[in-house]
Amino acid sequence: MVEPARVRSEIPWWKRTTVYQIYPRSFADASGDGIGDLEGIIDRLDYVQWLGLETIWLSPFFASPQADFGYDISDHFGIAPEYGSMEDCRRLIDEIHARGMKVVLDMVLNHTSDQHPWFVESRSARENPYRDFYIWRDGRKPYGAAPPNNWRSMLGGSGWHYDAQTDQWYWASFLPFQPDLNYRNPEVKRAMLDVVRHWLREGADGLRLDIFNAIYKDASFVDNPRSLRAIPTEDNPGGFFQKAIYTQNHPDTLAFARELRRVVDEFEDPPRFVVGEVFGSADLLREYCGPSGEGLNLVFLFKSLRTPFRAQAFRDLISEFESAFPEPLHPTYVFGNHDRPRQMERLGNSIARARLLAAFQMSVRGVPFVYYGDELGLSHHPMPRESAQDPIAERFGFIPKLLLPVLRKRGILTNRDQCRSPMPWHGGPHAGFASPDAPEPWLPLHPQSAIMNVAAQREDPRSVLAAYRRMLQQRRRSLALSSGTLELTDPPTDSRRVLAYRRVYEHDDGAETADVFLNFSKRSVSIDLRSLPRGTDLPMYSNLREAPVVARGRHVLRPWESAVVFRS
């Protein structure tokens, strides 16, 4: 458990780190207007530090008409006034750094808002110098009244939008007010790489890349082939009855990943990283990182978002990620974000399971991403789609209500307000999200806020929050957990509900080993530690508060308990 500083520094920090995602609109409102802001985040940094997550990823807070709450940027260098000023942003970055933590900013490179001055110019006339900043095509001949080809947006429906002023169609991978930039125009690429350099210069330690898989579209504009699949999945990002081979994961996007990495690597002190939001099979996603890690440093592996909470399913998941992302590549483990159902949904709203998930996420090899509120075990928040703020809710209004829980199970939300409720800080007015005299928050408080909040859980050693903190402490203290290799092992028990793996960190002075056992069942299971050298007398750590139970050389894992046995 001793950390030789010399060895530790050889492993890039971004492989060892743990990430907390903050959705600024929903985290903390210091100005008292019902909308979260940068000042509010500054006020709560001590909490994140106390919790033990080391890096903060902030969803976008740049100037934007907020039609998609910041994922529609109208000025890449400005801050949306409802979130604060450039001065607040600099202070936030400094305050994060002052606590020894890192910051990841969200880069929406694929598209801009339709209010961005480039697009306003672009759509004004065919001859405008900015016309080619976006993707414009004539309608399909001979009539011109149909979209240029069959390409569908990521949300279904044609991604082409007709603009009467110039009698052409523009392409948008996501919503119509988010026109895609044309990266085949060198000026666009240069301008967007300048945006990247700008924020790295401002102190970003990492960048999260929004729908990076959509950056390049095929220059031939030929139709995507048909498919029988209606619902997009991680393996088939197309869906909607077509294979998105000309609109997503294009070879030119894979090449751009390397180009972008070279730009990021211009900033060496400290080293920076990029994590891509990309969709596809683990093998395809690996290509974004390149065989020796020369592309994106990390990619989100979203399969975890629909993996059933069972020992065998998690074993298969590890096995798939380990074989697709061997050293020097590195997997990620994501169980929620601002687009997906809350992780508690898949855990059957069980606090005991949530504490086990914390143990898994903090002990497996890969960067853990924790979405704000998930560390409290906040559950899914059903909200009527009729009053939804999320622009995609309108698009999916036709889906029968009965089907919504099925989609949620598959990791798909048709109304993302449901995972964006204000962070519950305490049981008082507005749950502490804003001062008592502030207006109602932009989204209704979570119905559990009065009991499931930070203040209550900080006091309770059996809470989900306490388990996260405990597991994060274990991880930080152990080189094996933060930086070691991973090998799946046979659990020393007859129960098939125990998942076991070994993390090993070798250094010049020997090796540190952590054996991890996770009981995915509601029954106690006894494990025989005599197979481990000096097994029974080694320090052992549980995800639960109570001391581990050892009886006659056998260790008893209580329901949903984890145990980590350290050796060095």
Secondary structure of the chain: what % helix, strand, coil (to 5)? 30, 20, 50
Q: In angstroms, what is the minimal distance from the CB of 173 to ligand NOJ?
A: 8
560 binds ligand NOJ (CB under 6 A): no
Question: Pattern of binders to ligand NOJ over 64-83, x per CB under 6 A?
Answer: ----x--x------------
Q: In angstroms, what is the minimal distance from the CB of 338 to ligand NOJ?
A: 6
Query: Judging by DSSP bridges, how do beta strands 75-79 and 19-22 pair with one another?
Result: unpaired
Rg (CA), the chain: 24
- Nearer Cβ to ligand NOJ, position 277 or 515? 277
**Quick one: which of 53, 103, 108, 356 contacts ligand NOJ (CB under 6 A)?**
108
Question: Pattern of binders to ligand NOJ over 171-200, x per CB under 6 A?
Answer: ---x---x----------------------
Residue 520 near residue 499, CB atoms below 8 Å: yes
Which of 101, 292, 282, 84 minimizes the C-alpha distance to 206? Answer: 101
- Nearer Cβ to ligand NOJ, position 296 or 318? 296
Q: What is the spatial distance between Cα 254 and Cα 444, in angstroms, rounded to a whole number? A: 41
- The one catalytic residue in 87, 187, 259, 266 is 266
Q: In angstroms, what is the minimal distance from the CB of 208 to ligand NOJ?
A: 9
Other CB atoms within a 10 A radius of the CB of residue 99 amount to 14
- Chain positions 123 to 182 lying near ligand NOJ, rule: CB under 6 A, are 174, 178
Q: In angstroms, what is the minimal distance from the CB of 190 to ligand NOJ?
A: 22
Helix (H, G, I), strand (E, B) or coil at 503: strand
**Quick one: which of 54, 82, 339, 374 contacts ligand NOJ (CB under 6 A)?**
339
Residue 192 near residue 109, CB atoms below 8 Å: yes
266 part of the active site? yes
Can you list the alpha helix ranges (DSSP code H) found in 202-296? 251-264, 282-289
Six-digit token pair at 141?
């001949």
**Quick one: which of 338, 346, 408, 469 contacts ligand NOJ (CB under 6 A)?**
338
- Nearer Cβ to ligand NOJ, position 208 or 330? 208
Alpha carbon separation from 283 to 93, 286, 333 (Å, rounded): 35, 5, 16
Question: Pattern of binders to ligand NOJ over 393-422, x per CB under 6 A?
Answer: ------------------------------
The Cβ-side half-sphere exposure at 55, using a 13 Å CA radius, reads 23
Query: Judging by DSSP bridges, how do beta strands 485-488 and 19-22 pair with one another?
Result: unpaired
**Tokens 């202070």 correspond to what residue?**
91
- Nearer Cβ to ligand NOJ, position 210 or 512? 210
- Nearer Cβ to ligand NOJ, position 123 or 416? 416
- Nearer Cβ to ligand NOJ, position 113 or 543? 113
- The one catalytic residue in 29, 210, 277, 417 is 210
Q: In angstroms, what is the minimal distance from the CB of 413 to ligand NOJ?
A: 10
210 binds ligand NOJ (CB under 6 A): yes
Q: In angstroms, what is the minimal distance from the CB of 199 to ligand NOJ?
A: 17
Q: In angstroms, what is the minimal distance from the CB of 416 to ligand NOJ?
A: 7
Helix (H, G, I), strand (E, B) or coil at 239: coil
Residue by residue, DSSP assigns 23-75 as: -HHHH--SSSSSS--HHHHHHTHHHHHHHT--EEEE---EE---TTTTSS-SE
210 part of the active site? yes
For residue 65, cis peptide bond before it (omega within 30 degrees of 0):
no
- Chain positions 280 to 299 lying near ligand NOJ, rule: CB under 6 A, are none
Residue nearest to ligand NOJ (CB): 71
Q: Which residues are catalytic?
A: 210, 266
- For binding to ligand NOJ (CB under 6 A), which residues are involved? 68, 71, 108, 174, 178, 210-211, 277, 338-339
